[in-house]
Structure 1
Amino acid sequence: MQTPALPTIEQIASCVAGYDPNALAVTQAQDFIARFVPQVGAVERLALRCALGRALAHDVVSPFDVPSHDNSAMDGYALRSADLRGDAPTTLRVAGTGYAGQAFDGPVAAGECVRIMTGAVMPAGLDTVVPQEFTTARDGTVVVPPGVVSAGDNRRLKGEDLARGEAALHAGRVLRPADIGLLASLGQAEVPVRRRLRVAFFSTGDELRSIGEPLAAGCVYDSNRYTIHGMLTRLGVELLDLGVVRDDPAALETVFRSACENADAVITSGGVSVGEADHTRQVMGRLGEVAFWRIAMRPGRPMAFGRIASNGRTAVLFGLPGNPVAVMVTFYAFVRDALLVMAGASSQGLQTLPLLRARTTEAIRKKPGRTEYQRGIVTRAADGDWDVQLTGAQGSGILRSMSVANGLVVLHHEQGSVERGDYVDILPFDGLV
């Protein structure tokens, strides 16, 4: 079967409403990227313990009913609801005991019950469990007060969680700890997952130095690679760190080709600003199909996106700004979800980052027409609500502010200035950065 041709930038641009590469809204850029990125096709089978964070390649179907029998949800007494006397106490003779993994299989006559433990199979003919704390046991009998249970209470039905042949988890699900437990409960020793996504990344700029090198006047240590490494590690992808590349056409082309030939996606930081006097943009354009955007956002306005090719291999390219905060913001606004989709996550399986609501402790100035991400410190107020205070200066080069903050204040495209006490959306950092 012939592999279908990948859509071009022009084709996708025609599908994105109001597409303007010089004034692209955040949501438009996200839509564009979602339409453009391909999904890895290779599938591998992994031992269940190794599958956390990977995307399922196929549906996993339950081989049996879960639970496999009607069973008790409580420690107590299994009985026939028809034996209950309504408004008067009911005295029942205890015919025996059923344990989890050791069912009571003797006869149970009218007026009798079975002492039963949580998870034990319900004896034939019995339909209700009364919790033991509601009863009084004496001389081989138990007394059930009126009104403490109704027919069917505290009984788990066969197949109520999963029916035999039903999909327990669907293809595209990014497996979480609970999913691993669910698969184990179905006896799945191995699961089919998409192969791990390979991501290459590097920084560009003559002023950058790697840790351990001496700093000349005007030079700085490259922090972006370390930040990107941490963000990618959270996604569980395979990493290829290509270091710092000086602003030299031959060196840049060599590194771009190596990245493209060995990875599914390439992330760069720096060298994408409009009119910037360097060679990164030229090399990107020479190796493939790349769009250079001005996105209506702050921080992170300049960005490059597309695909590059070398020696028959193709990779998706994310050219991020060079400022440290802008790198992080654009990664979480555009790159994170795209990489998860490339790794096999479906729209249903994608774990979209949640937005919370918090009350501002200060006024925030903003003009409609762009999305702003401001660093904030979220705390619990005396009334139990969440408050957010900005970290101070919001320059895109102030990386320390990202370390001090515990969330981003998200001020949306059409939103204007915010007064003290107004509620705003927060993208929390816990488990994220």
Structure 2
Amino acid sequence: MASTTAPASLHDVVSCLSDYDPNAVPVAQAQHIIRQFITPISSIEKVAIRQALGRVLATDIVSGINVPAHDNSAMDGYALRGSDLSPDQAITLKIKGTAYAGRAFEGEVHPGECVRIMTGAVMPVSCDTVIPQEFTLNTDTEQVTIPAGKVKTGDNRRFKGEDLAIGKTALTKGKMLRPADLGLLASLGVAEVPVQRRLRVAFFSTGDELRSLGETLDEGCVYDSNRYTLHGMLTRLGCDIVDMGVIKDDPVSLAAAFRSAAENTDAVITSGGVSVGAADYTKQMMAQLGDVAFWTIGMRPGRPMAFGKIQSAGKSAYLFGLPGNPVAVMVTFYFFARNALLHMMGANIPELPLVPAVSLASLRKRPGRTEYQRGIASVSPSGQLQVAITGSQGSGILRSMSEANCMVVLHHDQGNVDAGGKVDILLFEGLL
């Protein structure tokens, strides 16, 4: 569970900001406050290498062996002595034997001799160069001709420890393990991997108008889509998730849900109930149970948001109170909750890069807030990255997220954009 003691309260964090106003919080300031307040979990477990994909490495992995263990050939060809090569004329060498991967040539190689060698095979003693098979001439079982200028001394030889030397750090703490990392661990003989335990995250939607799938859709009601997008986003992050369903707009039900989340999870994410409204008891419960800030963020979509920590029975969980509109839920999750959860996991992951693209249409934008518009990026015939908006950008139009392959990020101080102007985009590949 999340630590019961934070290094600082939210009040401590925001008191350091001279321009802090909860009713007009810029995106960058909100992200800074969240980062300062979050404390990573510290529990570690060991998992088999096949179960380590997507997990966060808990300690540095130091190589206990040289990789490769011996000088070896990078090509199928002939291992030879570089001193035999002539810059001006072809040479013919006697074939002394064959070196296979996993079965080294044990004899000696004298001047004027070579060894047929396979990729990965240990370099024979006194050989320092490999010429690829396809560059040779007049080859038979006893001799081979090496044309002039086809190879230089040292070519196609992989050195002992070239990939990793004994004592070198192979993977650093905080890395989220990818398929290549599993292969690297296997190459070092590592069978079990120390990783951070999985983050446990609860989520629920609030609202009397929401219905779960399979329920009758009464007049004025809608199916709850937010829990399914949250389920997908949290699953992609590798969290252990607790779907608490739809919680009705009444204080008793909300209090019970928050207390259960605080006692059993590291973080809780809600959708709905953080804007101004007569039936929005969520803010009241949040304020009663913990150290929570309520913000009006200078962004579109997703202005209202709550963030902090709630407590119950001596335990606590970080809280992300997201808006209720489907697109706003996804935008606020990706630009606030996602990085915070990765930080809680102990993951050292750089910010996803913004990429410049040409806008195919003019975009209206008011300076003083950050806007996230859904876009479809493509490459023009001339090879230029370009982006078109997915039609109406209303925060309730979830189809716009389904059709998009990127987010157009219009920055806080930015104004209108003319057709043909440059904008920054965040590609969904690697995010969604």
Q: Same fold (TM over 0.5)?
A: yes
For 1:362, give the aligned amino acid: A
Structure 1 pair 417–287 and aligned structure 2 pair: CA distance change class (3 A): same
User: Do the aligned partners of 1:16 and 1:31 also contact (CA within 8 Å) in 2?
Assistant: no
Match of 1:73 in 2: 74
Match of 1:115 in 2: 116
Match of 2:183 in 1: 181
Give 5+ residue unaligned stretches, structure 2. none
Whole-angstrom distance in 2 between the partners of 1:104 and 1:317? 64
Whole-angstrom distance in 2 between the partners of 1:364 and 1:279? 37
Give, in angstroms, the shift of residue 229 of structure 1.
0.6
Count of residues paired in the alignment: 429
For residues 360-383 of structure 1, the C-alpha deviation after alignment (integer angstroms, 9 at most, x for no partner) is: 111111122221110111223222
Match of 1:149 in 2: 151
Give, in angstroms, the shift of residue 6 of structure 1.
2.7
For 1:41, give the aligned amino acid: S
Give, in angstroms, the shift of residue 5 of structure 1.
4.6
Aligned residue runs from structure 1 range 26-425, under 5 A = 26-139=27-140, 140-274=142-276, 277-346=279-348, 350=349, 352-425=351-424
Whole-angstrom distance in 1 between the partners of 2:60 and 2:28? 31
For residues 47-89 of structure 1, the C-alpha deviation after alignment (integer angstroms, 9 at most, x for no partner) is: 1101111111111111101111111111111112111111211
Q: Please identify, of 271-280 and 45-54, the stretch whose mean Cα deviation from structure 2 is larger.
A: 271-280
Whole-angstrom distance in 1 between the partners of 2:225 and 2:189? 45
Q: Please identify, of 6-15 and 62-71, the stretch whose mean Cα deviation from structure 2 is larger.
A: 6-15
User: Do the aligned partners of 1:210 and 1:221 also contact (CA within 8 Å) in 2?
Assistant: yes
In angstroms, what is the RMSD of aligned CA positions? 1.7
Match of 1:7 in 2: 8
Whole-angstrom distance in 2 between the partners of 1:199 and 1:72? 50
User: Do the aligned partners of 1:211 and 1:222 also contact (CA within 8 Å) in 2?
Assistant: yes
Give, in angstroms, the shift of residue 214 of structure 1.
1.9
For residues 117-176 of structure 1, the C-alpha deviation after alignment (integer angstroms, 9 at most, x for no partner) is: 111111111111111111114342222122222221111111111110111111111111
Give, in angstroms, the shift of residue 22 of structure 1.
2.0
User: Do the aligned partners of 2:129 and 2:157 also contact (CA within 8 Å) in 1?
Assistant: yes
For residues 361-420 of structure 1, the C-alpha deviation after alignment (integer angstroms, 9 at most, x for no partner) is: 111111222211101112232222222111111110111111121211111222222111
Whole-angstrom distance in 2 between the partners of 1:365 and 1:179? 44
Structure 1 pair 51–8 and aligned structure 2 pair: CA distance change class (3 A): same
SS in 2 for 1:136: coil
Give 5+ residue unaligned stretches, structure 1. none
For residues 199-235 of structure 1, the C-alpha deviation after alignment (integer angstroms, 9 at most, x for no partner) is: 0000111221212222232221111111101111111
Give, in angstroms, the shift of residue 18 of structure 1.
3.7
SS in 1 for 2:127: coil
Whole-angstrom distance in 2 between the partners of 1:87 and 1:241? 75
TM-score for both structures, normalised by structure 2:
0.95
Whole-angstrom distance in 2 between the partners of 1:351 and 1:176? 15
For 1:138, give the aligned amino acid: T
For 2:54, give the aligned amino acid: G
Structure 1 pair 294–3 and aligned structure 2 pair: CA distance change class (3 A): closer
SS in 2 for 1:345: coil
For 2:371, give the aligned amino acid: E
Instruction: Report percent identity of matched pairs.
Output: 64
Give, in angstroms, the shift of residue 352 of structure 1.
3.5
Q: Please identify, of 121-130 and 423-432, the stretch whose mean Cα deviation from structure 2 is larger.
A: 423-432
SS in 2 for 1:307: strand
Structure 1 pair 276–294 and aligned structure 2 pair: CA distance change class (3 A): farther
For 2:387, give the aligned amino acid: V
Whole-angstrom distance in 2 between the partners of 1:115 and 1:166? 33
For residues 168-191 of structure 1, the C-alpha deviation after alignment (integer angstroms, 9 at most, x for no partner) is: 111111111110111111111110
User: Do the aligned partners of 2:295 and 2:304 also contact (CA within 8 Å) in 1?
Assistant: yes
For residues 265-295 of structure 1, the C-alpha deviation after alignment (integer angstroms, 9 at most, x for no partner) is: 0000011114664211111010000011111
User: Do the aligned partners of 1:17 and 1:28 also contact (CA within 8 Å) in 2?
Assistant: no
Give, in angstroms, the shift of residue 3 of structure 1.
8.8
SS in 1 for 2:257: helix
SS in 1 for 2:28: helix
Whole-angstrom distance in 1 between the partners of 2:278 and 2:117? 75
User: Do the aligned partners of 2:76 and 2:132 also contact (CA within 8 Å) in 1?
Assistant: yes
TM-score for both structures, normalised by structure 1:
0.95
For 2:166, give the aligned amino acid: R
Whole-angstrom distance in 1 between the partners of 2:18 and 2:87? 66
User: Do the aligned partners of 2:4 and 2:314 also contact (CA within 8 Å) in 1?
Assistant: no
